[in-house]
Amino acid sequence: MRTYHLVLLTGFGIFSLISLFYLIRVVKEGRRSDPSQPEGRVLPAVVYALTASMSPLRKETAYLHVPTYTAGLLFHVGTFLGFGWLAIHLFQLRIGPFLTTGSAFLLMVSAVCGLSILIKRIVTPEMRILSNPDDYASNLLVTGFQALSALTLLRSDLIPVLFIYGGVLFLYIPASKLRHTIYFFTSRIHLGIFYGRRGIWPPGARR
């Protein structure tokens, strides 16, 4: 095992432990007991909260902002694809040229999407007011990760650099806004519970 392997694995290990801690804490803390008589069912609402409620057919922030929504979606796909390739490189799995080239293309597209979101944050006055240094840094770090992942698929000698970069990224996630990796899911679950008990979600169950 080389140093760059260690950096990646250490980063990933710390990220996993902290993320697990975050998750366990949120589950353990739970939510305030609600003795009100429920009007709807929670489970279908939570499923809806994690699926259809986010579609551009339902969510205003999606259908009013199709370019940003699409860029955001691709950006996230690229991130997870990048993580997938980290694992592939780490375990030295053999992947065909079609998937490799396709992934490189998709990663480059997602990096461009990340860059476009970053530019939007920089040039839009409202966004600048809303933003703090971490918002820019988080975007830049993830965009860079995607671009580097793409390059690595074309030049394998960059793998050590990607591993070190990945390790740093993993370390940064729990400390920054990137921790929404975990809290995104718990927020949507809580929102689903809230709307589900009241019979608001899913829309078909309304009175």
Q: How far apart are CA 15 and CA 23, in angstroms?
A: 12
Angle between the N-to-C axes of helices 3-29 and 180-197, in degrees from 0 to 180, rounded to the nearest 10 = 20
29-88 positions binding other proteins, by CB under 8 A: 29-37, 39-40, 49, 54, 59-62, 64-65, 68-69, 72
User: Nearest distance from residue 28's CB to other proteins, in Å?
Assistant: 7
* Other CB atoms within 10 A of residue 95 CB: 12
The site map against other proteins for 183-202 (x = CB under 8 A) is xx-xxxxxx--x---xxx--
User: Which pair of tokens denotes residue 164?
Assistant: 């070190």
Q: Which is nearer to other proteins, 119 or 127 (CB)?
A: 127
In sequence order, the 6+-apart residues with CB closer than 8 A to the CB of 70 are 113
Angle between the N-to-C axes of helices 97-123 and 133-154, in degrees from 0 to 180, rounded to the nearest 10 = 160
Q: Which is nearer to other proteins, 140 or 175 (CB)?
A: 175
In the chain, alpha helices (H): 3-29, 42-50, 60-63, 66-90, 97-123, 125-130, 133-154, 159-172, 180-197
Q: Which is nearer to other proteins, 30 or 97 (CB)?
A: 30
User: Nearest distance from residue 34's CB to other proteins, in Å?
Assistant: 5
Q: How far apart are CA 11 and CA 5, in angstroms?
A: 10
User: Interacting stretch for other proteins, rule CB under 8 A, among 23-31, 79-87, 90-98, 144-152?
Assistant: 23-31
109-138 positions binding other proteins, by CB under 8 A: 124-127, 129-135, 137
Determine the size of the site formed for other proteins (CB under 8 A).
58
User: Nearest distance from residue 26's CB to other proteins, in Å?
Assistant: 4
| SS3 state at 188 | helix
C-alpha 103: how far from chain center: 18
User: Nearest distance from residue 10's CB to other proteins, in Å?
Assistant: 19
User: Nearest distance from residue 120's CB to other proteins, in Å?
Assistant: 9
Q: Which of 149, 141, 130 is nearest to 173 (CA)?
A: 141
Q: Which is nearer to other proteins, 160 or 199 (CB)?
A: 199
Q: Which residues bind other proteins (CB under 8 A)?
A: 25-37, 39-40, 49, 54, 59-62, 64-65, 68-69, 72, 124-127, 129-135, 137, 175-177, 179-180, 183-184, 186-191, 194, 198-200, 203, 206-207
